[in-house]
Amino acid sequence: MTTTSAAEDSILSVRGLSKEYVTKGSGAFGGRKHRFLAVNDVSFDVPRGRTLAVVGESGSGKSTTARIAAKLIEPTGGTLVFDGQDVTHPDARALARFRGDVQVVFQDPFSSLNPKHTVERIIAAPLQYQGIRAPQGTRALVRDLLDRVGLNPDHSGRYPAQFSGGQAQRIGIARALAVNPKLVVCDEAVSALDVSVQATVINLLRDLQRERGLSYIFIAHDLAVVRQLADRVAVMHQGRIVEQGGRDDIFDAPRHEYTRALLSAVPTINPEWDRARASMIAAEERAS
């Protein structure tokens, strides 16, 4: 696999990414095929050791983009450069190495955890796939990881159904950390959790980033959560990135009307500020 230049401070650089789906028509003879472009000419960089949040409404293409970035699905077009290496179409050995460097935390923790496996087996699975032997032993590593994500190490013999949603998501995070990845893709990782539980998981992700130098792609529709965690924000609409930039730039001075619409829908505890913001947006739209 050849080396391709990427932004020096980026762990992942994506250029011109697209994903097209083709569906067959109905009828006895299949009918006309329908083509749907879920992701269209998307480009972004994930800063090394930082968090890129990708936001947008349901169907905007953000989760498809995340899954392509994690090599869970193949792109129709574009390139992906990870840590200086072109991984757009890796061979089997390069893909296995990529799987160790990039892990995913999914939206629904219970659907991503095998209900028939113990927590110890679930967390140890990536080690077995990568052929990694933990110096302290697999069981000790699993216990250390459970402790780090705030779970009782003595519960490693339990099954996913014996945990709450927040605890199950922590198990998913521990599994992602087992192989010491460089990039973690969080696909709506807190959206299914209660608000109080969301805060603890976000704090955990932030602490782990500081400790391990992790990079995150954080997929979300909750802009309040994004503002807490993100360093950069990419706003997706109808398969395209319509605006991206630093967190404060996006939240304090949004340029695109879709970004302004998203922000106007975020509830706040200050109704007067809400009204002022709505008036400002309306005035800008009248002037444009």
In tens digits, the chain (288 residues) has pLDDT values of: 434 444 568 999 999 999 999 887 666 666 677 888 999 999 999 999 999 999 998 889 999 999 999 999 999 999 999 999 999 999 999 999 999 999 999 988 888 899 999 999 999 999 888 888 888 888 999 999 999 999 999 999 999 999 998 899 999 999 999 999 999 999 988 887 787 788 888 888 999 999 999 999 999 888 888 988 999 999 999 999 999 999 999 999 999 999 998 888 766 545 554 454 455 445 545 554
List the alpha helices (DSSP H) in the chain. 62-69, 92-101, 119-130, 138-148, 165-177, 195-212, 223-229, 247-252, 257-264, 271-287
pTM (two decimals): 0.83
Provide the pLDDT for residue 286: 54
Q: Specify the DSSP class assigned to residue 29.
A: T
Compute the C-alpha angle 233/193/225, nearest 5°.
25
Q: Specify the DSSP class assigned to residue 217.
A: E
Element holding 78 (H helix, E strand)? strand 77-82
Task: Look up tokens 């061979």; give the residue.
Answer: 91
* CATH code linked to domain 10-253: 3.40.50.300
In sequence order, the β-bridge partners of residue 51 are: 216
Task: Look up tokens 């480009």; give the residue.
Answer: 43
Instruction: Give the residue among 9, 11, 39 at the shortest CA–CA distance from 238.
Output: 39
Provide the pLDDT for residue 130: 87
Is residue 1 within 8 Å of residue 86, measured between CB atoms? yes
Instruction: Give the residue among 48, 37, 114 at the shortest CA–CA distance from 84.
Output: 48
